[in-house]
Amino acid sequence: MKLLNKIAIVTGGSSGIGRAGAIALAKEGADVLITFRSNENGAIDVKNEIIDMGRKCEIVKADLTNRDDIKNVITHTINIYKNIDVLVNNAGDSNFVEFLDDSLENFNYLFDINVKSIFILSQMAAREMIKRGAGRIINVTSISGIDVNAPGLTSYCTTKAAANMLTRGMAKDLAKYNIRVNAILPGSIDTPLTWRKASDEVIKMTIEKTPLKKIGSPGDIAGMIVFLATDGSDFMTGSLVVMDGGLTL
């Protein structure tokens, strides 16, 4: 087990990429804390699956647009586990809204959940990691931060571009503390969020444009999360790892 007795936080861990990532980290020996916003049943299912492996798992309800909730995630982790080795900033949201119909409220909401939550959580977690001399921060962002591949995504793409640059800035500043910061940029992934937010037409169009002619699975991304959390990625920091089936080629 490559992560035996390591402590990992995974935000948005009740379904999709977060669920797969949390379970994959636990399979490698990590004890995990996951956050959820509304899907408590999903979070409980993940917790039970991880406990059945013989690992520990805590769940915390958190609105990651709320600074007090974010602080509680870190406080709870330290109170229970005494340590943070890995932070996976996976929680996020998207809305398809044509630019002329978009609102500042929507832009601010997406910025809060897709960028500010990463900033605040990472800053708090990094301070704990520094005490122990090392850490890993993994941001699950999107290829939408480097390419606008569908209409109605101006605000979303802007926030993901900011998250990608935030990753690189944190990597530069935290390297001296032996904290590695990398981002995974998924394309279309088969998750509840994808099917809830994107129309069948958009998904079909995306598959047709993708060289591998399919959308990815949460397990595809989970494998990269594990890699970036382990010593195999020891010489990586500030990387933006594209996983999109070739869509952005």
Residue from 81, 109, 156, 177 carrying the catalytic annotation: 156
Catalytic residue list contains 177: no
Alpha-helix runs per DSSP H in the chain: 16-27, 40-52, 67-81, 104-111, 117-132, 154-174, 192-197, 200-209, 218-229
Task: Assess contact for 87 and 137: CB atoms under 8 A.
Answer: yes
What does residue 2 show for φ and ψ, rounded to 5 degrees? Answer: -80, -15
Task: Assess contact for 206 and 247: CB atoms under 8 A.
Answer: yes
With b meaning 16 or more CB within 10 Å and e meaning fewer, what string describes 26-43?
A: bbbebbbbbbbbebeebb
Letter for the amino acid at 72? Answer: N
Q: Which residue has the tokens 């990094």?
A: 126
Q: How far is CA 142 from the centre of its chain?
A: 10
Known catalytic residues are 156
